[in-house]
């Protein structure tokens, strides 16, 4: 692609954004009233012309340090590579389709969109923003509203992280210090032979849709059995138990989850476009939903993800290279579990029939020592997916484990033996 200085060197990325380089979020929507491919491309070319320095109108260059504007003569070709047509989408094998259509390795574009007759696949570079950017981006693209992308500029860097830290340090510093000294404050160390190392292949994923009827039965079971426990804690424990049942060897002493640190900003910035979600480890017995719920509550109330956000950004700033070294020491596989009971703008997706909505997610790259589970509430049901390294975890076992989630009370029954409520017949 041609070099251009017409619009300057382009805006620098923040260290908060650089910590997410080479991470992508993926979403498949089906069946929808898909926008016209030609119109979508035409609108995107105009958007780039009108907003040449906008991150979504640029490419990510200099090792992820700068958003570079697209030269005028390259815009149409660039858009034709970003927004492409799709063949028939096999809803029964969606993840093979997602794997085949992902952006080329080393792609510097902030996104790729694959448009079918009644489907849309969206690949989004995490460096361009977290769910507060990706969710409205997906809605706007599915509606063909390219002009609406103007507001989606991730603009929070180290100054914002420092501001949040200064706001929270006085009431919480003692708790942060005590947590840092606890032996169970991090995932288990590496195990096995000292030279046991592994190079990660491409991540894949598997998923399941818990229907509205099945999810309503689960919520009713919770109401009658354990209303004091958070839905997220119950689902996280159910996911762990399901994987354990299928022989997937997971760390049973804790998990990772993302914490949205916009809660520490003024309310008017609740959806500020940025990378302000931070992954944090929670030490808890994964068989015990109460322990998981208590851990999540303590994580939020202690604000301990705040210093972790700044530390991660500083670590990225000091790193010699933004990319991983390649070989990774094997450790116990630790689950990441994130639930989104309310995705911003989800009600605006142009479903053909909301009762038949397929909202399929995955993320990559996931390290060899992790498995990343996403649970998203969609049209009364729950779409759940797990992204993982298929050389460490058997995809068939993951599929079977996810299938058990259609009856979460059965998975959790040993903790609540007197529940007595059976889910709908399968």
Of the residues 116, 151, 186, which one is the last residue of a structural domain?
151
Burial 230-266 (b: 16+ CB within 10 A, else e): bbbbbbbbbbbbbbbebebebbbbbbbbbbbbbebbe
pLDDT at residue number 418: 54
Euclidean distance between CA atoms 164 and 276, whole angstroms: 11
3-state secondary structure of 86: coil
The residue count for the chain: 426
Of the residues 102, 124, 151, which one is the last residue of a structural domain?
151
Quote the tokens at residue 146: 């390219």
For the domain that residue 175 is a member of, what is the CATH number? 3.30.559.30
pLDDT at residue number 318: 83
- pLDDT confidence bin for 88, thresholds 50/70/90: confident
pLDDT tens-digit profile of 191-223?
443 444 555 557 999 999 999 999 999 999 999
Euclidean distance between CA atoms 127 and 56, whole angstroms: 11
Mean pLDDT of 37-59: 97
pLDDT at residue number 407: 97
Same domain assignment for residues 145 and 204: no
The string of DSSP letters for 120-147 reads: EEEEEEGGG-SHHHHHHHHHHHHHT--G
pLDDT at residue number 345: 87
Same domain assignment for residues 125 and 208: no
Mean pLDDT of 391-397: 95
Strand blocks (E) in 64-192: 66-69, 83-85, 111-115, 120-125
Residue 341 domain-assigned? yes
> Domain residues for 241?
158-411
Euclidean distance between CA atoms 84 and 41, whole angstroms: 9
Other beta carbons within 10 Å of 95: 19
For the domain that residue 75 is a member of, what is the CATH number? 3.30.559.10
Who's near 116: CB < 8 A, 6+ residues apart? Answer: 30, 34, 85, 86, 87, 88, 89
Who's near 278: CB < 8 A, 6+ residues apart? Answer: 258, 259, 261, 305, 308, 309, 312
Q: Percent of the chain having pLDDT more than 70? A: 89
Q: How many domains does the chain fold into?
A: 2
Same domain assignment for residues 143 and 273: no
pLDDT tens-digit profile of 123-145?
999 999 999 999 999 999 999 99
Same domain assignment for residues 55 and 122: yes
pLDDT at residue number 425: 41
Residue 417 domain-assigned? no
Residues 391/249/365/180 CA torsion (nearest 10 deg): -140
Residue 122 domain-assigned? yes
How far CA 317 is from CA of 14, 19, 64, 391, in Å, comes to 9, 9, 12, 32
Please give the mean pLDDT across all residues of the chain.
90
Residue 378 domain-assigned? yes
Same domain assignment for residues 89 and 171: no
pLDDT at residue number 327: 62
Predicted TM-score of the model (pTM): 0.92
Of the residues 99, 133, 151, which one is the last residue of a structural domain?
151
Same domain assignment for residues 132 and 169: no
Same domain assignment for residues 397 and 357: yes
Same domain assignment for residues 55 and 163: no
pLDDT tens-digit profile of 252-299?
999 999 999 999 999 999 889 999 999 999 999 999 999 999 999 999
Residue 4 domain-assigned? no
Residue 142 domain-assigned? yes
Among 191, 199, 196, 203, CA closest to 332: 191
70: pLDDT strictly greater than 80? yes
Same domain assignment for residues 111 and 239: no
Residue with the two structure tokens 């303590």: 298
User: Which helix H or strand E contains 239, and what residues bound it?
Assistant: helix 231-245
Same domain assignment for residues 127 and 164: no
Contact between residue 423 and residue 403 where contact means Cβ atoms under 8 Å apart: no
Euclidean distance between CA atoms 352 and 270, whole angstroms: 30
Same domain assignment for residues 144 and 220: no
Euclidean distance between CA atoms 242 and 232, whole angstroms: 15
Same domain assignment for residues 131 and 199: no
3-state secondary structure of 219: helix
Residue 425 domain-assigned? no
Residue 422 domain-assigned? no
């Amino acid at each position: 692609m041609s070099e251009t200085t017409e619009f300057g060197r382009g805006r620098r990325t923040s260290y908060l954004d650089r910590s997410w380089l080479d991470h992508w979020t993926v979403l498949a929507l089906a069946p929808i009233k898909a926008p016209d491919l030609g119109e979508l491309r035409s609108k995107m070319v105009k958007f780039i012309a009108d907003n040449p320095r906008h991150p979504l109108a640029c490419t990510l260059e200099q090792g992820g340090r700068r958003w570079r504007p697209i030269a005028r003569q390259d815009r149409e070709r660039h858009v034709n590579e970003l927004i492409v047509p799709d063949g028939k989408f096999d809803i029964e094998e969606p993840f093979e389709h997602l794997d085949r259509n992902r952006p080329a390795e080393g792609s510097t574009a902030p996104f790729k969109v694959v448009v079918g007759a009644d489907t849309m696949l969206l690949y989004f570079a995490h460096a361009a923003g977290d769910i507060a950017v990706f969710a409205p981006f997906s809605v706007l693209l599915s509606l063909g509203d390219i002009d609406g992308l103007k507001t989606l500029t991730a603009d929070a860097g180290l100054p914002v992280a420092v501001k949040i830290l200064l706001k929270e340090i006085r009431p919480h510093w003692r708790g942060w210090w005590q947590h840092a000294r606890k032996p169970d404050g991090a995932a288990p160390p590496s195990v096995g032979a000292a030279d046991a190392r592994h190079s990660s292949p491409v991540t894949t994923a598997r998923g399941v849709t818990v229907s509205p009827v099945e999810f309503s039965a689960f919520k009713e079971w919770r109401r009658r059995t354990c209303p004091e426990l958070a839905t997220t804690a119950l689902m996280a424990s159910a996911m762990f138990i399901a994987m354990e049942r299928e022989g997937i060897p997971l760390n049973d002493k804790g998990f990772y989850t993302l914490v949205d640190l916009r809660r520490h900003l003024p309310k008017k910035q609740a959806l500020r476009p940025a990378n302000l979600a931070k992954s944090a480890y929670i030490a808890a017995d994964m068989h015990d939903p109460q322990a998981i719920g208590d851990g999540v509550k303590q994580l939020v109330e202690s604000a301990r993800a705040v210093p972790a956000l700044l530390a991660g950004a500083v670590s990225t700033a000091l790193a010699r290279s933004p990319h991983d070294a390649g070989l990774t020491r094997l450790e116990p596989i630790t689950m990441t579990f994130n639930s989104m009971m309310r995705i911003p703008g989800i009600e605006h997706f142009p479903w053909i029939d909301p009762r038949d909505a397929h909202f399929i997610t995955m993320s990559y790259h996931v390290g060899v020592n992790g498995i990343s589970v996403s649970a998203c509430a969609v049209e009364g049901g729950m779409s759940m997916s797990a992204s993982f390294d298929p050389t460490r975890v058997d995809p068939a076992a993951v599929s079977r484990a996810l299938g058990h989630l259609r009856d979460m009370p059965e998975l959790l029954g040993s903790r609540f033996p007197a529940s007595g409520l059976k889910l709908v017949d399968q």
